[in-house]
Each structure stands twice: as structure tokens, then as C-alpha cells.
Amino acid sequence: MNPVDLYMLAGIVITLIALYAALTRAHLFWKVLAINLMGTGVFLILLAAPSRRTPEIADPLPQAMVLTGIVVAVAATALALGIALRVIARSGLPFLPDGDEEDQGSGGSAGEASR
Amino acid sequence: MTALGFLLDAAVVLLLVGLATRLLLTRHLFEAIVLFVSYGLTLSLAWVRLGAPNIALAEAALGAGVTGALFLNTYQRLTERIGDGPKSPLLEDDGSRDPPAWFKGVLGGGVLLLVLGAGWALLGAGRRPAFLPHEIAARLPETGVQNPVTGVLLNFRGYDTLLEIAVLVAAMAGVWSLDRGSRRFGRARGEPDEDPVLHALTRFAVPVTVVTAVYLTWVGSTEPGGAFQAGSLLAGAGVLLTVAGVLPPPTAASRPVRAMVAGGMAGFILAGIAVLPLTGQFLHYPEGWAYPMILGIEALLTVSIAVVLVELFVDVPAVPEPDPALESVDPSGDPLGRALRGKEGS
């Protein structure tokens, strides 16, 4: 296994454990963190894939795409944190409100699961 | 030498996966944020190892630096609001709201399958030689710059970069529309200097940062660097100046701030339109004009990006004040404060 394959594998693992965390952690800040990490995992795959095909020359196209992606991720994170803080200001809690507030018992977890 | 290189790669990869797992599983917000910054810095090492210094620069400055600062600032605002009271669900997630175990199990199984499937598909994929890098290398002289990444960003794929700055401006508009005008940064003019360390750091770091940012913008056409890396450095200087109270926090109400936020995008679009009569295509620079146009657009972008990032940092994390609209519905107002007080009582 060559080093580039290692980074590719790391990209796959990080993307998917971050996907798992984004779906299973109810806390909004961890959702934002997890989505950030998913992005970085995809960037790793994007950059490692062309290096496997043409190791002798760095492909500038995916590099430009990843550069764009990093900047967009920062902007999206700032907006997401702003929205999370508005949720906190409204409910006092860093969680999305349950789908149906009447059914407090299993409603919350079902609401989470369906997302 | 290659064995040593492989060991380094293996260490970086293990560190990345370990840090990511730990930060996603921990229950303490502060720990997660610190791990996130470490993760970003480790990732920029990975970019260097993958031969992408342009991205390493951006990752260190934006991915680890600015994003980490946004999270830390949010954390700081929350703790200010809460004080040193009992553990709050805002900062310590006990997982009580998380989905049930069966859901986690099913999802975990699915994710494992996806890892195996994606690993098989991507690592087993054939290695047909790519033609695009050679194509880009062959036609790079036409772009007017020597750094192939800058060539792709501002010439071949100029549209992408235009839309990217549009996303930044849109995010800025979104944050401004969430803002309740509750900024508490810096000192008022004439107030005594409380923090000599911050002041000294500002005096030392800001000039160095500004010079480096100008250099990065300039050198971006030939070497790793460019508007986004330079803009984030400049934003770092701007944040320091704002926190130290030297600069008033930029606000949506200020005309120059709005002009600078929109300037990069407006300049980019105008440049795209200006070349229309000459070349007949949007953003298709006429021969011989590519280099000065790219440099001009990059300079405008650097300023825009810097101002947007400072503004995002200063605006977002202030914990919103009680919502007057909500207060009319609920006379006790301030649901955040009430929830926290309720927590203290229990």
C-alpha cells in the first residue's frame, strides 16, 4: 500500500464517521463540527484520487476545488453557528426542537432518526 | 528515506483518524474545539505530504485558524453568559437527546458497509492515466500566471471562484440578518488599556501579518499563495485589531464595510463584463491582459475576504440578547437566561 492510498483511506473513514456523528449527535455544535469534518474527508479523497493516477504531476484542478471548498466551509460554519445561537437564544438548549412537542416520550428520538 | 516518509504518512493518517474520532465522541465542547484545531493543523501537514502547499496554507489559516476561532469565540460568549455555574447542557452534552441505541447500531452498521464499499471502489479503481494535469500544464502560459492552482482558480475556472465569493457574500448577508446588534468587543475610546499583552502582541503581529498578506497576494501568481490565503491572514490581523479595540468592530451599518464586502464580487463581475466586447465571452481575458486583470481581481478579493471573515468572527458569536418579538409572547423574556437559572435550581 502506498502513502497516497493511506490518505485516501483516511478520507473515506473520516467522511463516514463524521456522517455517523452528524446523524447521531443531537447537540448542534457537534453537528456543525461533524459536517466540517465530513468536508475535510471529502477533500482528502478529492486530492488523493488524482495523485494515485498521475503521481508524477500534481493535478491543480482538484486543488483549486478543495481551496474553494475550504472557504465555502468557513462561511457555512459561521452561518450555522449563528443559527445555532439563535436556537439557543429561543429555547435555551443547543438542540433542534422536536418535531411534535406534544409527544415528548419517543417523539424526540423518532424526530432525530428521521433526519 | 522513503521508509521514513511512509512512517510520517502513517503517523499523520493515524493522528487524523484518532483526532477526528475523539472530537466527535467527546462530551465536552471545549475539548472538541481544541481537538478540531489540532485536527486542522495535522490536516495541513497531510496537504503538504500530498504535494498541495496552496491548500496547506489555506487549511492552516482558514480550516484550523478561522473556523477554530469562530468556535472558540462562540464558546467564550456562552461561558460569559453562563458564568462559573453548574455544568450546562450548552457546553457539556450528556447525550440524553441523542437517538436510541438501535438507530445508532443500524447507522453504525450502514456506515461500516459504506467504508468497506467506498474503500473497495476507490482503492480498487483502475489507474488510467489522467490527461487533465498535462492539459493544464500545457496551456498554463495562456492564463498569464505561473502558479497552476491560481491559473485554474482565476482563469480556467474563474466562474467557480466568482460563485465562491458570492457564497461568502451570501453567508455574510445571512449572518447580518441573524444579528441582534449585541457586539461587546473591544474597549470604548479613551478607556484604559486593560490587557498590555494583547496590546503588545497586536503592535508586533499586525504589521508582520499585513506585509505577509500583501506578499502572499502578489506571489500567488507564481508560487503557493493567493487571495484566499492572504485574505485569511489579513482577517487575523483585523480580528486582533478589533479585539484589542484599536478598530471599531465592522458593522453592517457602515457604508465602507458594505462596500468592501461587496467589492470583490462586484469587481470580479465588472471585470468579466468589461472583457465581453473584446473577447465575446464572460471572464475570458484578452491576450496580454490576463496577468494584470488577475492581479487586480485578487487584490479586491483579498480585501473582501478579509473584511467578511473579520465580520463573521465579530458578529456571529455574540449570544443573542433576549428577542423583543419573543418577549411580547412570553413576558418573562430571556429564555436562555431562564433555562440556565432553571438548571441551577435543579
B200 touches chain A (CB under 8 A): no
Record: contact A50-B133, CB cut-off 8 A: yes
A-chain residue closest to B314, CA distance:
A78
Show residues of chain A in contact with B6, CB under 8 Å. Answer: 3
CA distance B283 to B268: 8
pLDDT for position A114:
38
pLDDT for position B330:
47
pLDDT for position B226:
84
Asked if residues B36 and A44 have their Cβ atoms less than 8 Å apart, the reply is no
Record: contact B137-A57, CB cut-off 8 A: yes
Neighbouring CB atoms inside 10 A of B84's CB total 5
pLDDT for position B80:
73
CA distance A73 to B345: 39
**Contacts for B323-329: CB closer than 8 Å, 24+ residues apart:** B323/A89, B323/A90, B323/B180, B326/A90
Show the domains of chain A with their CATH numbers.
Answer: 3-114 (1.10.287.3510)
Mutation target to probe the A interface, by most A beta carbons within 10 A, among B22, B41, B132, B146 is B132
pLDDT tens-digit readout, A11-54: 999 999 999 999 999 899 999 999 999 999 999 999 888 777 76
CA distance B107 to B88: 28
pLDDT for position B100:
87
Domain residue spans of chain B = 1-117, 148-321
State the complex-level ipTM: 0.84
Asked if residues B90 and A88 have their Cβ atoms less than 8 Å apart, the reply is yes
pLDDT for position B170:
93
pLDDT for position A96:
82
Provide the total of helices (H) and of strands (E) in chain A, helices listed first. 4, 0
Three cell numbers written together for A49: 484520487
A-chain residue closest to B324, CA distance:
A90
Residue B155 CA to its chain's centroid (Å):
23
pLDDT for position B317:
45
pLDDT for position B18:
96
E strands, B240-308, in order: none
Asked if residues B234 and B264 have their Cβ atoms less than 8 Å apart, the reply is no
pLDDT tens-digit readout, B219-264: 888 888 888 889 988 988 888 888 887 777 777 778 888 899 999 9
pLDDT for position B54:
86
pLDDT tens-digit readout, A98-108: 765 544 443 33
Show residues of chain A in contact with B128, CB under 8 Å. Answer: 53
Half-sphere exposure in the Cβ direction for B344 (13 Å, CA): 9
Asked if residues A105 and B200 have their Cβ atoms less than 8 Å apart, the reply is no
Q: What is the CA radius of gyration of chain B?
A: 24
Cβ contacts below 8 Å, chain A against chain B, sum to 271
A-chain residue closest to B180, CA distance:
A86
Mutation target to probe the A interface, by most A beta carbons within 10 A, among B34, B104, B149, B239 is B149
In the predicted model, residues of chain B with pLDDT beneath 70 are 1, 83-87, 125-128, 179-194, 316-346
pLDDT for position B343:
47
pLDDT for position A100:
53
Show residues of chain A in contact with B119, CB under 8 Å. Answer: 9, 12
- Classify residue B28 by its DSSP letter: B
pLDDT for position B38:
96
CATH fold group of domain B1-117 = Four Helix Bundle (Hemerythrin (Met), subunit A) (1.20.120)
Using DSSP's 3-state secondary structure scheme, residue B183 falls into coil
Show residues of chain B in contact with A19, CB under 8 Å. Answer: 111
